Structure 1
Amino acid sequence: MFWLNLLHIYQPPQQKEEIIKKITLESYSKILNILKKHPKEKITLNINGSLTEQFAQYGFKNIIDDIKKLAEKGQIELVASAKYHLILPLVPEQEIIRQIKLNNETNKKYFGEIYQPKGFFIPELAYSFKVAKILKKLGYQWIVLDEIAHKEKKTQDENNFYQIKGLNNFYVFFRNRKISNLFFTGEIKNSKDFFKILSVKRQIKNNALITALDGENLGHHQLKMAEIWQEILNSKKLQTMTYSEYLAMNSMKNIKEVEPQECSWASKESELKKGVPFAYWNNPNNKIHQLQWKLTKLAIKIVFQLKQKYSDTLKYQNIRKELDQSLFSCQYWWATMDPNWSPRMIKKGAEKLLKVIELAYDAQFVNLDFFQKAENLYNKIIFTTKETQKNSKFKI
């Protein structure tokens, strides 16, 4: 049985150095050391450019070097993504394309020629057909989605290979949610637990087990999980393979067209039935979310308008860079209240979005009324967050 395991590692822009150091020691270093000790084992890896830059900034060049060497040996397949981990279906096409290009530039700079991604990791596996069309146009060959995206609710099987309807030669893998989430929930305490659940779920009969998960689960979110992953590899019961290797091996198999539904890897059936595919980032019943997106759209709108007149100026470039970083997904996720809640991250996101407008105002690109409109939205976000904190069970 083949195991296609994609690990996604990311930290938001301007993350605290001590947090980067802690997670590197608890997770990132362990993952890479395990791969070095097991030269026949393979993973598919997404590292967003935001984290790559912070590895370099905070003195973790050894992590970058190890990833590069393992990729050169064929143990790691590197994939593309959006640099600052924004929710792609919720932003305009030009922002999607820009973030992908920024990500490629950053990772190409640090990983060199070995960085030639065929696959694409959509942040939070937040899918829409709009996004798929853009990725196909940019030349990517495949994506991975959560199994809930498959309307027939089937993960990969040995009889079919999946292509998105209307996009020839653009393939989709469906991850097994249950098995992927085992590395986060703490349900397994050793490799025996893993294989017991795998057997019960009747995944053994399939030709491939497809998983996709946050790399931080291995050692950071779950302190012993890196060791359990190593136990699983030591068992030799699964043959690890990269996604692109599996795609190449199965190129002659039956191709089945599918139309994935809009969703993320956190979506619930109840949310999808209500037409809310991205509830963790844009819930129509979440007051903070709605205010956040009003401010987000205002920032995107003004930067797009300013580009036509000021794109060659240094002031515009600073505004543009601020917008790039301000679109990170964490600010919305931490406002979900189900159970994610962090007033600090909500405020950080709102501050960065307001900074976009403030820089434009300081450069005399926008008038006072426009800036005050943005400032009013910012104040509403902060006030609503404080009121929610005051009237809820959440602790700061």
Structure 2
Amino acid sequence: MTDEINDSAKDSANPDPFLALISVIHSFITNKDRASASLGLDILAGRVSTLIAFNGDSEIAEDSPMDQSLETLCTDQIPNTVKEAVDHDLTQVGLDVSETVETIGEATIEHTAGRAFQHVITGHVELIDTLGYESAEERIRTEVMDTCKDLLKTGATSGLWESTAIGTRLLGWVAATSVMMRDREDGRNTRYGSLLVLCFPKLLNIAVKSHATIGDLSAREWLRVQMLDVHPVARLINSCYGSMAELTSAAIRYEMRTEQQIVDWGSVAHGWLEGLGRLEQSNLEEMQQLWFGTILYLEYLDAMSPDHVMDGFDPYVQYEVSKEVGQETVERIQDNSLDPLAAIQFIPGRVNPVEMPLTGRRMPIIPDAEKSFNEWLSNQIFFTEGRYAETIDSDDR
């Protein structure tokens, strides 16, 4: 198959070897032959996995024939197979595609084929946004999110830091885009919330506990790590923060617009607190302050928003930071040297954050709030033991 791919790259008269198999699978789907289509997907997964095993990362260098063939397969042909299955009411085949992607993804991880792993995640993540909101498509979307989540955690554990960082940020961005596109009549899919609890905080934990030597950056640099020459583990940490913030922002805006809850806010609070706890175990004080400051801003939004928005988001009764970190974080927010609002205020789901981080238009979620964030912060204190509390009327929370 390697020779066929190289021949196809040299002469367009020679078709890419994956194209024929994909065409056969699509033909089975058109004829509503579910069993044959599923068998075809199994064969595809086996062939791609074998190809990766025999070539590894060295033969899948950027823009090589192998790289281009796998990119087309993973980001175009396989996602289109899901769309074909949906169009022909073969939901199970659409679900089977996630198994195919999982098999291929596991092969890329096993053989440390980072470029191929990136293509696998990029193509599969896009389905979260492009699928519709009928029940069958929601089932497939849920399976896609679960598959991406599991592959990213395995990729991080195996040390594919760069591609995992890219995939993590794309997952948060595309999931936020999908939430922003939903209308009230589209109903709910609570699986988005699982990314804020079981995905991004867990990936942050893996990154922080790695043996990589990474130095702390300024808060401003942490917000734009993708543009800096830093260790890929730092990119993954940034991706976890950016994805947590963007998806949380999208969920709040969805509730403000539709008056429907799309995530469990108690669980989301736990996800943010888990991330803070992991950062407390690191030497990344600037990122810890940025993360903590964002939690404070989310508390502020909870206090200022209507009762039905962020119902159950109560991190203040659970988290602890040192008195020094708490006070310094507040002081830096108030003197504008720390900006935890940015990642929440940029409209979610716009410009690709991997290519252009924090680019777009900032739009406050509650533009006419009765108190500014700084005014609200002025009514908070940090006790000696580090537990956060209010000094005044708790009804404002």
Same fold at TM > 0.5: no
TM range, normalised to the smaller chain? Answer: under 0.3
Which protein has greater RCO, CA pairs closer than 8 Å, 6+ apart? 1
Q: Which has the higher strand share?
A: 1
- Higher helix proportion (structure 1 or 2): 2
Of structures 1 and 2, the larger Rg is shown by 2
TM-score normalized by structure 1? 0.27
- The TM-score normalised by the length of structure 2 is 0.27
